[in-house]
């Protein structure tokens, strides 16, 4: 039996664990590392069907907000 793990899933777990920490104890280096991990996660998930669904959902929300502000 071969056990494989997707890098995007591993980064999602790391992001979840980083966000559960108390924000008051974070240094600039730790915040930068979190931002870098989130950026890499976004790049890995973007070309997937799930990533396209997220982009479409966020686009619809942004369009709805934009339409709500116009007369």
pTM of full prediction above 0.85: no
Query: Helix or strand or coil: residue 54?
Result: helix
Q: What is the pLDDT of residues 41-62, one digit of tens each?
A: 777 777 778 777 877 887 788 7
Lookup result for tokens 């966000």: 19
Count of CA atoms in the C-beta half-sphere (13 A) of 34? 14
State the Cα–Cα distance between residues 11 and 33, nearest whole angstrom.
12
Q: Give residue 1's pLDDT band: very low, low, confident or very high (50, 70, 90).
A: low
Q: How far is CA 19 from CA 2, 10, 36, in A?
A: 31, 14, 13
Handedness of CA 43, 63, 57, 16 (dihedral sign): positive
């Amino acid at each position: 039996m071969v056990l494989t793990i997707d890098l995007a899933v591993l980064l999602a777990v790391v992001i979840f664990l980083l966000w559960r920490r108390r924000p008051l104890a974070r240094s600039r280096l730790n915040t930068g590392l979190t931002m870098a991990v989130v950026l890499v996660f976004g790049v890995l998930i973007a070309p997937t069907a799930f990533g396209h669904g997220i982009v479409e959902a966020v686009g619809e929300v942004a369009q709805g907000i934009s339409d709500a502000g116009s007369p």
